[in-house]
Amino acid sequence: MRRLSSTDTAPEAEATPEAPRDDLREGLLARLREELGDAVVDSHIRPGDDLWVRVTREAWVDAAVVAKDKLHCTFFDFLSGLDWLPSPYGRDMDSQEDLLVHGAPEKEPAPMVSGYAGGDTRFQVFCRFYAPTKGYGITFKADLPDDDLSVRTLVPVFAGANWHERECAEMFGFTFVGHPQPWHLYLPTGFEGFPLRKDFPLLARRLKPWPGIVDVEPMPGEDEGDGDGEGGEG
Amino acid sequence: MILAELLDLDPAYWTTTVIKILVMALVVPTTALILGIVFLFKMMSWMQSRVGPQEAGPKGLLQLLADGVKFMQKEDIVPDRADRFVFKMAPMVVLVSTFLLFVILPAAPDAVVADLPTGVYFALAISSVSVIGVLMAGWASANKYALMGGVRAAGQLIAYELPMVLAVVGVVIQAGTLNMNGIVAAQNSFHLFGWEVLNVPFIVTQLPMFFVFMAATQAELTQPPFDMPVAESELVSGYTVEYSGFRFLLFFLAEFATAFAFAGIAATLFLGGYALPFVDIEQYADLYWFLGPAVLFGKIMLISFLIFWVRFTYPRFREDQLQRIAWKFLIPISLVWLAVTAIAKVVW
Amino acid sequence: MTAPTESQQLAYIAQQAADSRVNLEFETDEGMTLNIGPQHPATHGTLRIVAKLDGEQVISCEPSPGYMHRGYEKLAEVRTYTQVNTLVNRIDWLGSFANEVPFILAAEKLMEIEAPPRAQHIRAILFELSRIANIALFLGDLGAQLGGVTAVFYAFRDREFVLNQIESVTGGRFHPNFDRIGGLKDDLPKGWIAETKAAMEKLRDFCDELETLLIGNEIFQLRTRGVGVIPPEVALSYGLSGANLRGSGVDWDLRRDACPPGLPYDKIDWKVWTHPDCDSFSRSWVRLQEVRESTFIVDQLLDSIPAGPVMAKVPRIIKVPEGEAYVETENPLGAMGYYVVSKGDLVPFRVKIRSASFSNVSIVPWVCRGVYVPDVITILASLYFILGDIDR
């Protein structure tokens, strides 16, 4: 049986945490930098696991082409958006658990922090390609400036991007330039607002407060962080 | 006639007609009930390892009656944009063709509603009338699924009319008559190779025709594997999609009664009808008044079992595939066997 | 965006729900437009497929999902990790436990913990059981879609054995909600291993039965062979996964090729089935073989369950450290992954759910062009989607 224990990727690399270096993904990153030049803005590698690459918005399609043609990433995994704005509504639940952890409902929004491979803008579009024959995936990110949330479509490169981009467009309000079917996928025609943006209120929570969680009260005499090894909760 | 003699009656024309109508009105729904309960409910559930209806009546035997009552109570819905008159008439047309099919089916030498000299062809002609009803239903429903189902049904029924006719022609050539009673009598007195011990029905000599006839029957009944017109997972029951309540019940009744009638025709043409081998019709004419219906019923149930066995087992053909089967497979077979039959008839 | 007031939003949503004429883009004048769904037996729920027909032939067709969208990605942002687990159960409702696994693994990856070996084994067993429960129903449903109603009853009958086993461990037949960060909620009940082995025997019989009744049936082969051909490059670029990809001849199974840590598939000897024909038949055939292979995997896993706890030491209130993780596993419907972004809070900051059916169904417009209407049903049935997996 072929590659039963997938020796070239995850398990081996994780078995040696003292050497957090991943030659495979370093090589991929070097290749990407070579092909795309300055368009690779930032990157992040979690050894033995994954590779994040942030490219400029202009190089979005080029990055996909390079990944597909040069790096064997022929499998289109997914495409979606990220909104790094901390939710102005908090968690929408003033539950017992919140009170337990925070002491009081937290209303002050936290500063905006981007994730792996950084980011300068509130919105990012991100997608992931996978190389079925090689066993690695690459996650690409691109910053979208607030005044122009548009990026070129990936449909000519990966036909499967069609639905993912439509979903992303209606949920985040991005524009995918050149998309063959630029209308809503899930939402009704004419729906206002972009539900997955952090400032879109979760109406159910606004109308009826979360009833709260009653079964996570700490046991008497038990410190936080002391799992008992029998069950997670309850 | 024996009954008339027994009762010392010489009934008038209108009396016999009324009696015949009453008998038909009783027989046709009963046959549909029997097939529905025995095969659709009981046999199907045993084949599919489940129990089937249990509650209504002993062992759920009255389930279909209960369903019928339920259908009667339902609102008679006619779609807004439907052609109301045609929509309402369509199930009647289908049911009329079903009723007329029973007319020529002999259950004993004299127990037949209309002993037509061209009985077989009357049956085949009448069975085509249901196509009109189906088309009416499909068109008048103002529903795309119904329309597609109706058109598919029309194409299929017409395509399978031909192999069915050819299959019947084989029997007709061998029997030398178009009359149903004549065909039964011919089988009753038929000896293969002239040997007395081989008093066999026509299925032995017309075996390929029997298969062609059964395949065509299956298609005429729009049952799997030929149920493309009603394909419930695809056309959502095709031309019956907009029907509910009483009118749907009529379609249901027509479907199962037609199955019974076709099984009866097949039993008559190929299995010797109401007659048993070695039990001469003319000699035991009185006995056949009681034996005939029972024998015919047994044979019909046997053939119905085949029809429903296939129905519950096979997936369905695609529309073009079933047309291909009719034109490229069934018709050549029946033509070849027709030639064989004709030559054999001339030689013997 | 200036957020409208709540009452405005609510009124708007109510109006949209009342307006049945949504997605007007699909209604055009050319040809006959046939709406397959949203209420149609072939759509496994409420998928709507708008097909433009020329007679019986499909000129173009366009699926229009969203009639059952539940907004799990949004809901996940206000729920704790354990609560999200309950949500994701409802994505692919026929193999619910399989939905939990990648999410829990992603959370475990962020927390850098791993479940004890016994928990990993039981997790894999339940994972395979839900695969069997899911695909067994697919095989039956395939028969129903093609007109052979008997197969679906056989499927329901034998799927019951698997559901009973899942129920006796988790307490839930449909939505186990059993997986926890760091292990499992409970250990196996007594006598479960022997019962499951007996159930696996029955499932193998079921596979043999369906192989003769359905997959080997001449009419079935007539209907499916050469229908809905998807070449491997197209399948990959559309992101098809699972049996749909292996039915196109791509030898790729995440369980074997990229098994995430936390599932013991590398300790088992099994085979990944592929079929080179790329048509509806090959997809169905691969799925049948997969069920059978899964029963063998379960047998091997049952034989090699290690002793020990089923829960690692995790804090009672789980706060996942900051970071991003993507874990993808080979689910019954295909590759299913969760991209979890954590900000070190009780709740995930963002969960992107990559569900298999979403990508699998997006190929429908490509593959259904020019086929006959009955073939649309065959292709949809062989692509095998669950509506909850499209409308997350």
Q: Rounded to an integer, what is the distance from CA C129 to the centroid of its chain?
A: 13
With a CB-CB cutoff of 8 Å, which residues 43-62 of chain C face chain A? 62
Return the residue matching tokens 């027994």: B6
* Confidence label for C52 from pLDDT (cuts 50, 70 and 90): confident
Contact between chains at C217 and B224 (C-beta distance less than 8 A): no
pLDDT at C30: 63
pLDDT at A10: 43
With a CB-CB cutoff of 8 Å, which residues 288-317 of chain B face chain C? 312-317
C205/B contact by beta carbon, under 8 A: no
pLDDT at C333: 87
CB atoms within 10 A of CB C227: 20
% of chain A residues with pLDDT over 70: 66
What are the residue ranges of helices labelled H in chain C?
6-18, 72-75, 81-88, 96-111, 117-145, 150-170, 192-210, 218-224, 232-237, 243-246, 254-257, 280-303, 356-361, 364-367, 373-383, 387-390
Higher pLDDT, C14 or C358: C358
Please report residues of A whose CB lies closer than 8 A to that of C80. 97, 213
pLDDT at A3: 39
What is the average pLDDT across A138-149?
86
A54/C contact by beta carbon, under 8 A: no
Q: How big is the B-C interface in CB pairs under 8 Å?
A: 79
CA C156-C162-C168 angle, to 5 degrees, is 125
**CATH number of the domain enclosing A82:** 3.30.460.80
pLDDT at B5: 56
Tens-level pLDDT at each residue, chain B (348 residues): 555 555 556 667 777 788 888 888 888 888 888 888 888 888 888 888 888 888 887 877 888 888 888 888 888 888 877 788 888 888 888 888 888 888 888 887 776 777 788 888 888 888 888 888 888 888 888 888 888 888 888 888 888 888 888 888 888 888 888 888 888 888 877 777 777 777 778 777 888 888 899 888 888 888 878 887 787 777 777 788 888 888 888 888 888 888 888 898 888 888 887 878 777 777 777 777 788 888 888 988 899 898 888 888 888 888 888 888 888 888 898 889 888 888 888 877
Contact between chains at A4 and C346 (C-beta distance less than 8 A): no
Please report residues of A whose CB lies closer than 8 A to that of C1. 173, 193-194, 197, 199-200
* Confidence label for A226 from pLDDT (cuts 50, 70 and 90): very low
Return the residue matching tokens 């009780």: C346
* Confidence label for A68 from pLDDT (cuts 50, 70 and 90): confident
Q: How far B116 CA sits from the closest chain C CA (Å)?
A: 39
Q: How far C27 CA sits from the closest chain A CA (Å)?
A: 13
Contact between chains at B313 and C213 (C-beta distance less than 8 A): yes
Higher pLDDT, B291 or C128: C128
Contact between chains at C23 and A92 (C-beta distance less than 8 A): no
What are residue A81's DSSP bridge partners?
A125
> Residue A225 pLDDT > 50, yes or no?
no
Give ipTM to 2 decimals.
0.81
What are the residue ranges of helices labelled H in A37-172?
60-69, 96-102, 161-172
* Confidence label for A102 from pLDDT (cuts 50, 70 and 90): low
- Does some domain include residue A122? yes
- Does some domain include residue A10? no
pLDDT at B4: 53
C241/A contact by beta carbon, under 8 A: yes
Q: How confident is the model over C65-116, as pLDDT tens digits?
A: 888 888 888 888 888 888 888 888 888 888 888 888 888 888 888 888 888 8
> What is the C-alpha separation between A220 and A230, in angstroms, rounded?
17
What are residue A177's DSSP bridge partners?
A152
> Residue A134 pLDDT > 70, yes or no?
yes
What is the average pLDDT across A33-49?
79
C273/B contact by beta carbon, under 8 A: no
With a CB-CB cutoff of 8 Å, which residues 55-94 of chain A face chain C? 74-78, 80, 82-83, 86-87, 91-93
Residue A73 CB burial class (10 angstroms; 0-12, 13-18, ≥19)? buried
pLDDT at B20: 80
* Confidence label for A12 from pLDDT (cuts 50, 70 and 90): very low
Q: Which of B144, B148, B232 comes nearest C41 by C-beta?
A: B232
Higher pLDDT, B288 or C141: C141
Contact between chains at C260 and A10 (C-beta distance less than 8 A): yes
* Confidence label for A211 from pLDDT (cuts 50, 70 and 90): low
What is the average pLDDT across A122-144?
85
Return the residue matching tokens 């369906």: C210
Neighbour-count burial for C187-224, b at 16+ CB within 10 Å, e otherwise: bbeeebeeebeebbeebbebbeebbebbbebebbbbbb
Please report residues of B whose CB lies closer than 8 A to that of C54. none
Contact between chains at C258 and A163 (C-beta distance less than 8 A): no
Q: How confident is the model over C250-270, as pLDDT tens digits?
A: 888 888 877 777 788 888 888
Q: How confident is the model over C298-327, as pLDDT tens digits?
A: 988 888 888 888 888 887 777 788 888 888
Q: Which chain B residue has its CA at the smallest distance from C379's CA?
A: B234
pLDDT at A6: 40
Q: Model pTM?
A: 0.81
Q: Do chains A and B touch (3 or more CB pairs under 8 A)?
A: no
> Residue C21 pLDDT > 50, yes or no?
no
A131/C contact by beta carbon, under 8 A: no
Domain range enclosing A53: 21-88+116-197
- Does some domain include residue A26? yes
C309/A contact by beta carbon, under 8 A: yes
Mean pLDDT of chain C: 83
What backbone torsions phi and psi does residue B222 show, to the nearest 5 degrees?
45, 55
With a CB-CB cutoff of 8 Å, which residues 140-179 of chain C face chain A? none
Q: Which chain C residue has its CA at the smallest distance from B319's CA?
A: C374
Higher pLDDT, A46 or C31: A46
Please report residues of C whose CB lies closer than 8 A to that of A158. 237-239
B319/C contact by beta carbon, under 8 A: yes
> What is the C-alpha separation between A161 and A154, in angstroms, rounded?
6
Q: Tell me, which fold does domain C71-361+372-386 have in CATH?
A: Cytochrome-c3 Hydrogenase; chain B (1.10.645)
Contact between chains at B234 and C377 (C-beta distance less than 8 A): yes
> What is the C-alpha separation between C246 and B285, in angstroms, rounded?
69
What are residue A50's DSSP bridge partners?
A46
C370/B contact by beta carbon, under 8 A: no
- Does some domain include residue A207? no
Please report residues of B whose CB lies closer than 8 A to that of C147. 224-225, 227, 231, 233, 314-316
DSSP calls for B211-250: HHHHHHHHHHTT-TTS-TTT-TTTTTTGGGTT--HHHHHH
* Confidence label for A206 from pLDDT (cuts 50, 70 and 90): low
Please report residues of C whose CB lies closer than 8 A to that of B40. none
- Does some domain include residue A25? yes
C217/B contact by beta carbon, under 8 A: yes
- Does some domain include residue A51? yes
> Residue A73 pLDDT > 80, yes or no?
yes
pLDDT at C1: 43
> Residue A227 pLDDT > 50, yes or no?
no
**Parallel, antiparallel or unpaired: strands A136-144 and A50-55:** parallel
What is the average pLDDT across A57-83?
85
- Does some domain include residue A104? no
C256/B contact by beta carbon, under 8 A: no
What are the residue ranges of helices labelled H in B104-221?
119-140, 144-175, 180-188, 207-220
Contact between chains at B48 and C150 (C-beta distance less than 8 A): yes
Which amino acid is it at C134? N
Q: How far C346 CA sits from the closest chain A CA (Å)?
A: 9
Contact between chains at C147 and B315 (C-beta distance less than 8 A): yes
Please report residues of C whose CB lies closer than 8 A to that of B233. 41-42, 144-147, 377
- Non-local (6+) Cβ contacts of B224 within 8 A are B310, B311, B312, B314, B315, B316, C147, C148
Contact between chains at C341 and A14 (C-beta distance less than 8 A): no
Please give the tally of structural domains in chain A.
Answer: 1
Please report residues of C whose CB lies closer than 8 A to that of B234. 41-42, 145, 373-374, 377
> Residue A4 pLDDT > 50, yes or no?
no
pLDDT at B160: 87
Q: Answer yes or no: are the C-beta atoms of C43 and C390 closer than 8 Å.
A: no
> What is the C-alpha separation between A72 and C326, in angstroms, rounded?
19
Contact between chains at C374 and B234 (C-beta distance less than 8 A): yes
Contact between chains at C34 and B144 (C-beta distance less than 8 A): yes
Higher pLDDT, A12 or B343: B343
